[in-house]
Amino acid sequence: MIRQSTFSEMEYSAKKRVTRRDRFLSEIEAVTPWTALVASIAPYYPKGDGRGRPPIGLERMLRMYIAQQCIGLSDEGIEDALYDSQAIRRFVGIDLSREAAPDATTLLKFRRLLETHQLTRTVFDTINRHLTEKGLMLKEGTVVDATIIAAPSSTKNRGRDRDPEMHQTKKGNNWHFGMKAHIGVDAESGLVHTVLATPANVHDVTQTHALLHGEEQHVHGDAGYVGAEKREENQNAAVTWHIAMRPGTRCALPDTTLGLLLEKLEYAKAQIRAKVEHPFHVIKNLFKHRKTRYRGLAKNAAQLFTLFGLANLMLARKRLGLLHAQVAP
């Protein structure tokens, strides 16, 4: 049965200007491996056997969840957006003239299903497997880094306390309360292959071993990873370490031939490390994930897998488009 377009859809399709949200969602639509993602979640999704209202289609709920993560909205926010935005309705596949949009509670249950069965990690792995099959994920080098994601520090809530699983840390002259997102990034493509979440007071260098996939030959890190090669858990890692000098040591380099060579070496290492900032830029500025959305480390860690998986797709979208163009007759 061929589905007929409504008047509002036809009017929207005929508009002359393509908005940034239209363009953004169309890019996500084009690069996401929907079939593989649905297949990885399907064994855990309710089948609708027995009495009661049948569950909403898995792909529709997945699309609603991904739209929520990419636009940075709450459960109630994405429900309202489905009624307000034709672009989001088109992405999710909702026709309000024939059906109601899934509500916030339905999305909450779907997200809890993903968290319970660790399916956000499955989403992340499925996306990376898709990118690896396209030849975009290499394994010769890894860049490690971490960023602080703030958590609400106010105690003006029902429990009158802060999240006990979040902690504060000092960066420069400022104190930050929240968690850290640690990532291992492919040094060639800039795509994230490992994600780890800890409280903010955990030192970066203590998590280095957990960010390596074991096949890399080179590891790059900033000055926060000084001494990583001497730690006991990294003794068996057969890699060459390229860790930045501490800022004070670099500033004190002598104005000699050796000093200038060391400065050029630090500059070259910094150019490689710069790729690790791109995924952080996507999740913080494009996806607007600058603060934790949930209470507790586990829920926020689960969300990070989805965010960085989608960030990989956004970072690889131009190369994926080029690959499609080369395959097309």
Residues 314 and 188 occupy one common structural domain: yes
Considering the domain boundaries, does residue 239 fall inside one?
yes
* Digit-coded pLDDT (tens) for 291-303: 999 999 999 999 9
Q: What is the pLDDT of residue 320?
A: 84
Tell me the pairing of strands 192-199 and 174-186. antiparallel
* Digit-coded pLDDT (tens) for 265-288: 999 999 999 999 999 999 999 999
Residues 307 and 202 occupy one common structural domain: yes
pLDDT in tens, the chain (329 residues): 344 555 555 555 556 578 889 999 999 999 999 999 999 999 999 886 666 667 889 999 999 999 999 999 999 999 999 999 999 999 999 988 888 889 999 999 999 999 999 999 999 999 999 999 998 888 889 999 999 999 998 877 777 788 999 999 998 889 999 999 999 999 999 999 999 999 999 999 999 999 999 999 999 999 999 999 999 999 988 899 999 999 999 999 999 999 999 999 999 999 999 999 999 999 999 999 999 999 999 999 999 999 999 999 999 998 887 665 554 44
Q: What is the pLDDT of residue 325?
A: 54
Domain termination site, one of 87, 117, 147: 117
Residues 272 and 163 occupy one common structural domain: yes
Q: How far apart are CA 202 and CA 192, in angstroms?
A: 20
Residues 80 and 207 occupy one common structural domain: no
Residues 211 and 181 occupy one common structural domain: yes
Q: What is the pLDDT of residue 10?
A: 54
Residue 148 phi/psi, 5-degree rounding, is -85, 135
Residues 191 and 309 occupy one common structural domain: yes
Q: What is the pLDDT of residue 150?
A: 95
Considering the domain boundaries, does residue 1 fall inside one?
no
| Continuous segment of H or E residues that includes residue 196 | strand 192-199
- Domain of 167: which CATH number? 3.30.420
Considering the domain boundaries, does residue 130 fall inside one?
no
Q: What is the pLDDT of residue 284?
A: 96
Residues 151 and 80 occupy one common structural domain: no
Nearest to 70 by CA among 328, 286, 293: 286
Residues 192 and 105 occupy one common structural domain: no
Residues 149 and 192 occupy one common structural domain: yes
Tell me the pairing of strands 218-221 and 240-243. parallel
Considering the domain boundaries, does residue 221 fall inside one?
yes
Q: Which two tokens stand for residue 181?
A: 């997102």
* Digit-coded pLDDT (tens) for 211-237: 999 999 999 999 999 999 999 999 988
Q: How far apart are CA 269 and CA 281, in angstroms?
A: 20
Q: Provide the domain count of the chain.
A: 2
Residues 91 and 231 occupy one common structural domain: no
Considering the domain boundaries, does residue 127 fall inside one?
no
Q: How far apart are CA 74 and CA 124, in angstroms?
A: 21
**Residue type (1 letter), 253:** L
Q: How far apart are CA 102 and CA 19, in angstroms?
A: 24
Which range marks the domain in which residue 33 is found? 7-117
Q: To 5 degrees, how large is the angle CA 162–CA 163–CA 167?
A: 95
Considering the domain boundaries, does residue 81 fall inside one?
yes
Considering the domain boundaries, does residue 318 fall inside one?
yes
Considering the domain boundaries, does residue 133 fall inside one?
no
Residues 169 and 308 occupy one common structural domain: yes
What angle do the packed helices 104-116 and 75-84 form, to 10 degrees?
A: 130
Q: Which two tokens stand for residue 64?
A: 């609603």
Residues 101 and 143 occupy one common structural domain: no
Q: What is the pLDDT of residue 5?
A: 55
Contact residues for 36 (Cβ-Cβ < 8 A; gap 6+): 126, 129, 130
